[in-house]
Amino acid sequence: MIDIHCHILNEVDDGPQSLDESVELCRKLKDAGISGIIATPHYIPGGGYMPTLKTIKTKMDKLKNVLEDKNIDMNIYPGMEVFADYDVVDRLKNNEIISLNDTKYILIEFPMDIVPKHASNVVFSLLVEGYIPIIAHPERYTSEYRKTGVLEDIIYNGALVQINSGSILGDHGKKVQKEAFTLINNEMVHIVASDSHGQHRLLKNKDYLETKLIKFCGLENTQRLMYTNPLQVLENKEVEYLNKVKKSFFLAELFKNIRYNT
C-alpha cells in the first residue's frame, strides 16, 4: 500500500520533531504494511508552515540515507498538503509548492469548521490548469461541506477525496467515523491514506483496516481505496471510482455505531 498523505519529514510541521522520530515512523508504517510514502508536510501560508522545495528535498535525502543504512525498505516520494487559498495556482507556477510526486495530483485541505466561499473557485482554478485536486480528509470537516452540496459539486467537477484510515477505524470519534462511512456510501471517496503525524494518528495495522473496509464496502471498492488508486496517483494515472455500496453494509455499520454509543 502506498500512503499518499503522511507527515514523515522531521521539523517541517507538526509531524516528527527529529530525524530519529521520522525513521521510527517509517519503521512502524513498514510493519503496518506500507511500502511507499508520499511525504506531505503542511504548507499553510501565514500559518507557520511553509517549507521550501529545497528543504523538502534535503530532509527527504537525509531520511532516505538513514533508511538505507538501517535496512528499512521504504520508498519516499515528495509532496505537500497545501492549505487551499486563492493563490494556490500562482504558488504552483512559482515553484513555491509541489504536487504529489510531481504528478497532476495535488493534495489540498480546507478549513475544518467553515466552508470558505472560495472553495469551488480554488478547485476550479486548479482543474483549469490541468491539476486534479485531492481533498484531504473532508470527513473531519464540518458536515456543512456535504450538506450544502459544496463537496458534491467539487467532486462532480473532477476533484478527488482522500479520507484518513484513522477515521474509518474510529480514532477521531464516532461522528467522524460515521461521516467517513457516509462519504464512502455516497461514492464520494477515492483514496484512503494514514495522515500520520509522527507517532500520532499512526496506521498500526493495514490488514485490520482492510478487513473493516471489506465488511463495509466490499472487496473491489476496498482494493480501489487502499491499493489501486494510491498507486495510480503516484504514477500519474487515472483513478478508479467506487461501485455502489450495498445498502445492507451501510445500515449494519450505522446500527453497530448506535449500539456502541448507547
From 27-35, 162-170, 189-197, 231-239, span contacting Fe ion (CB under 5 A):
189-197
| Least spacing, CB of residue 172 vs Fe ion, in Å | 12
| Least spacing, CB of residue 195 vs Fe ion, in Å | 4
Instruction: Compute how many other C-beta atoms are within 10 angstroms of the C-beta atom of residue 249.
Output: 18
142 or 223, CB closer to Fe ion?
Answer: 142
Chosen residue from 26, 32, 74, 81 binding Fe ion by CB under 5 A: 81
From 84-92, 155-163, 176-184, 191-199, span contacting Fe ion (CB under 5 A):
191-199
Chosen residue from 3, 13, 139, 195 binding Fe ion by CB under 5 A: 195
81 or 139, CB closer to Fe ion?
Answer: 81
Residues 6+ apart with CB under 8 A from 21: 10, 198, 199
Find cell 530519529 and name the residue: 20
| Least spacing, CB of residue 213 vs Fe ion, in Å | 20
81 or 179, CB closer to Fe ion?
Answer: 81
User: Using CA of residue 61, residue 132, residue 90, residue 11, what is the dihedral sign?
Assistant: negative
| Least spacing, CB of residue 193 vs Fe ion, in Å | 9
Contacts by 143-146 with C-beta closer than 8 Å and gap 24+? Answer: 143/179, 144/114, 144/115, 145/110, 145/115, 145/119, 146/179, 146/182, 146/183, 146/186, 146/188
3 or 81, CB closer to Fe ion?
Answer: 81
8 or 150, CB closer to Fe ion?
Answer: 8
- The two beta strands, 196-197 and 2-7, are parallel
Residue ranges in the chain assigned as alpha helix (H): 19-32, 53-69, 88-93, 119-128, 144-147, 150-157, 165-169, 174-185, 206-217, 219-223, 229-234, 247-261
Under rule CB under 5 A, residue 139 binds Fe ion: no
| Least spacing, CB of residue 198 vs Fe ion, in Å | 12
10 or 221, CB closer to Fe ion?
Answer: 10
| Least spacing, CB of residue 157 vs Fe ion, in Å | 23
Helical axes 53-69 vs 19-32, angle rounded to 10°: 70
- Contact residues toward Fe ion (CB under 5 A) are 81, 195
